[in-house]
Structure 1
Amino acid sequence: MSLYQHARDGNAERLRDAMGSDSAAVRKRAAEFLGEVADHGDQPSIDVLLRAATGDEDAQVRGGAVDALDEIGEAALEQLLSELTGTKGSEAEWVTARKFARALQADRPELRMAAANALGRLDDGSGLQHLVEALDDEDARVRLRACQACGTFADPRAIPGLTERLDDEPRVRRAAANALGNIGTDRALSPLLDLLDDADESLRRIAAGALGKANNPEPVEPLARALGDESAVVRNAAVYSIIELLSNVPTQQSHAVRDRVVSELKQADDETVVEPLVEILTDGQQSRQRRNAAWILGRVAERESTVAVEALADALADDDAQTAQFAATSLKSLGGPIVEDRLLDRLGTEHPEDARAKAVFVLGQVGGQETLNRLEEFTDDESPAVRKRVFSAVSKLRAGGP
């Protein structure tokens, strides 16, 4: 049975047995799973991880065991610090940022790793400066964990040190990029612009996903270029960030940014753009993002895009009135037989009254003879709002158009 299966079954005993494997890769993976499965009361698992963290011959296994103890909780991490420093009982009071910070100066890198993890868990900003200094540690494993800890604080004071780590080895670079994204200020995000062209797909994805937090239009063009990335996850992250960017930029810049976004998105592959926009409109939790997605779809989707039309038609019933209005406007912009068919399907009384009224309004702008015939069936509709829209739409269609 695989380690994954043991972890899924919560079988810590089998995972502990795997820590005796001759394979360093197996021991490292077993340690990682133990960190997920064990809890603070599972002393046998903690003991196995303590032995691995302090005595395994492989540095990656020792690092994995340190992280697993950190995952289990502060008490397990304190036991590790006690083991590594030779202190016992009340002497091992590594519960304050000051004492963890002192451990960052220890000779053993595993102790410095544990201290960096611990400082990241503590809600005490006094440890930040020590973590920033640890970004220059000689051991890449310590630098990695210092980057991760700085990311939890999300403090702008870490920006210079994290930016320097973008030239480090791959795992450290990714941790530094994530931390800068967590800080999220324009100053922190600026170094991520160059990462959109990096050879490392993970770094491109991290950068594309973080740049939507910017409060200026500078990332629009680089993110639009990222829509042509060979990686689907990078392209998807870029679309999400473009939508988020529209929500974040100052009002006085929003019109210029919108025009620029539409221009760039129109040049991208339709499927690349439309699918994530539809996902945002359908599943997004923030009203501003759903509004922007609805607005953009009407300007960049092809009128034959069934998935876009379906999403916009469903959005006519959105709880947010502006999202529903933008959806109606976009359906009017798209027009065509697919729009007519989908809106005619939504005229029944099983749909919300306001959504039906909006569907009738759009049909009055884009419909043909078939639509006119169908709308005439609703002149006696039970809803005054729908009847009003029907009379207006029928009048326009009989006259030959809007």
Structure 2
Amino acid sequence: MSLYQHARDGNAERLRDALGSDSAAVRRRAAEFLGEIGEEGDQPTVDGLLRAATTDDDPEVRGAAVDALDAIGEAALEQLLEELTGGGNDGEAEWVTARKFARALEADRPELRMAAANALGRLDDASGLQPLVGALDDEDERVRLRAAQACGTFADARAVPGLRDALGDEDPRVRRAAANALGTIGTDQALSPLLELLDDGDESIRRIAAGALGKASNPEPVEPLARALGDESPVVRNAAVYSVIELLSNVPTQQSHAVRDQVVSELKQADDATVVEPLVEILTDGQQSRQRRNAAWILGRVADPDTSTAVEALADALADDDPQTAQFAATSLKSLGGPVVEDRLLDKLGPEHPEDARAKAVFVLGQIGGQETLNRLEEYADDDSQAVRKRVFSAVSKLRAGGP
């Protein structure tokens, strides 16, 4: 039976047995799974991980065991620190304080430095930040990795210079952690170094950069993000579209018009499917109304009128709980026009649909419809909804007159 199956079954005993495997890869994976399923009260699991963290011949196994103890909980991590420092806490557990953890970052044992970095990331104590920034230069890449990860938990701008330097680390894991931490901090100063990472050779780093740049409060990332829409990786392209939408929500009001124009210009030059698919996803599944509004607005300016997924999403958005999103969807459908839009909106006229959505559908049809639409609209002249009847009267009048 595989380690995954043992983990899924919660069989900690079998996973502990695997810590004695001749294969370092098996031991490392077993430690990782024990961190996922272990509990603080499970002392045999804690003891097994303590042995792996302090005596295993493979540094990656020791590192995985340290992380597993950290995942199990603070008490397990305390036992590791006691083991590595020789005990003698006299019942006061001094290592749980930020000062003791910071001191441990200078210990000879790299596993102790790793544990200290993890622990400082757990503590809500600002005094632990500078020692962690210093640990970004540690000689052991495992310590540098955990220091970068811990810096991200503080989301403190004081870590930016150190994290920026860590982007040049020789270990790609450290570089990814530093990029993530800068994205978490999210200030323009922290995000600026990520612009260059959009051309990085590591796909995951490009994705991290693309996903974080939407937090900027200035339009600088628009053009680089637009270029990222042509990235060979679909996950990078998807992250770039999400960030463009988020960026529109974040830029100052006085800049929003110029940024919108620039976004539309850049997105129009990208492949339609690359842009439309994530925009549709945002409009359909997005949890923030501002993002849905922007997705609805942009779709009407960059989608092809025959792109059924975009038209479908916009038509459904006519019933959005957010009135502005629904209005932007109607405006975009009007901008797109064409037979696909007509057919989809005609399907929205039935009484099973919300009244507001039906009224908006009628309004758009009055702007873009032809003879068939006119015939269909006349069927709703006596609709039960006054709002729909009013829109039908106006739309029919315009269509009979030959247009709006």
Q: Same fold (TM over 0.5)?
A: yes
Match status 1:398 vs 2:400: yes
Do the aligned residues in 2 keep the contact of 1:81 with 1:92 (CA within 8 Å)? no
Q: Does 1:347 align with 2:349?
A: yes
**CA displacement at 1:92 relative to structure 2:** 3.9
Q: 1:214 matched to which residue of 2? A: 216
Identity of aligned residues (%): 86
Which residue identity lines up with residue 163 of structure 1 in the other structure? Answer: R
Contact 1:242 1:261 survives alignment (8 Å): yes
1-structure distance, mates of 2:240, 2:5: 35
Structure 1 partner of 2:86: 86
Question: Superposed, which structure 2 residues align to 1:40-79 within 5 Å?
Answer: 40-79=40-79
Displacement of 1:94: 1.6
| TM-score of the aligned structures, taking structure 1 as reference length | 0.99
Task: Write the deviation string for residues 255-302 of structure 1: whole angstroms up to 9, x where unpaired.
Answer: 110010001101101111000000000111111100000000000000
Give matches, 1:133-172, under 5 Å.
Answer: 133-168=134-169, 169-172=171-174
- Structure 1 residue 88: Cα displacement: 3.9
Letter in 2 for 1:243: I
CA distance in 1, matches of 2:110, 2:211: 32
Identify the residue that residue 193 of structure 2 maps to in structure 1: 191
Q: Aligned to 2:192, what secondary structure does the other structure show?
A: helix
Within a 5 Å distance, the mapping from 1:216-231 to structure 2 comes to 216-231=218-233
How far 1:348 moved relative to its partner? 0.9
Matched, 1:237 2:239: yes
Give the Cα–Cα distance (whole angstroms) in 1 for the partners of residues 276 and 4 of structure 2.
36
Deviation at 1:4, TM superposition (A): 1.0
Indicate the residue corresponding to 2:258 in structure 1: 256
Q: What is the CA–CA distance in structure 2 between the aligned matches of 1:314 and 1:145, rounded to whole Å?
A: 45
Match of 1:95 in 2: 96
1:277, 1:238 → 2: CA distance?
11
Residue 91 of structure 1 and its aligned partner are, at CA, apart by 5.6
SS state at 1:378 partner: coil
Query: TM-score if structure 2 supplies the norm length?
Result: 0.99
* Alpha-carbon offset, residue 95 of structure 1: 1.5
Query: Aligned partners of 1:120 and 1:364: how far apart in 2?
Result: 59
Contact 1:132 1:146 (8 Å CA) reproduced: yes
**Distance in 2 separating the partners of 1:384 and 1:149:** 59
Aligned positions of 1:179-328 closer than 5 A: 179-328=181-330
Q: Is the 8 A contact 1:364 1:396 kept in 2?
A: yes
Q: Which amino acid aligns with 2:21?
A: S
Mapping 1:365-376, distance limit 5 Å:
365-376=367-378
> Is there any run of 5+ residues in structure 1 with no aligned partner, and where?
none
Number of equivalences? 402
Q: Distance in 2 between matches of 1:397 and 1:349?
A: 22
Contact 1:113 1:142 in 2 (8 A): yes
Offset of residue 50 of structure 1: 0.2
Letter in 2 for 1:187: Q
CA distance in 1, matches of 2:106, 2:216: 36
Query: 1:17: which partner in 2?
Result: 17
Which residue, out of 358, 361, 364, partners 1:362?
364
Q: Distance in 2 between matches of 1:74 and 1:91?
A: 14
Give deviations 1:10-49, integer Å, cap 9, x for gaps.
Answer: 1111111111110101100110000001111111111000
- 8 Å CA contact 1:184, 1:210 repeated in 2: yes
Contact 1:226 1:235 in 2 (8 A): yes
**Alpha carbons 1:120, 1:150 under 8 Å: kept:** yes
What SS class does the counterpart of residue 277 from structure 1 fall into?
helix
Alpha-carbon separation, structure 2, partners of 1:69 and 1:93: 18
The residue type equivalent to 1:370 in the other structure is E
Amino acid paired to 2:207? R
Task: Find the counterpart in structure 2 of residue 118 from structure 1.
Answer: 119
SS in 1 for 2:366: helix
> Is residue 104–residue 134 contact of structure 1 (8 Å, CA) maintained in 2?
yes
Tell me if structure 2 keeps the 8 A contact 1:12–1:45.
yes
CA–CA separation in structure 1 for the residues paired with 2:73 and 2:118: 11
Q: Tell me the CA shift for residue 96 of structure 1.
A: 1.0
CA distance in 2, matches of 1:269, 1:123: 45
- Please tell me whether the aligned partners of residues 34 and 68 of structure 1 are also in contact (alpha carbons under 8 angstroms): yes
Partner of 2:338: 336
Distance in 1 between residues matched to 2:47 and 2:364, nearest whole Å: 68
Structure 1 contact 247–288 (Cα < 8 Å) conserved = yes
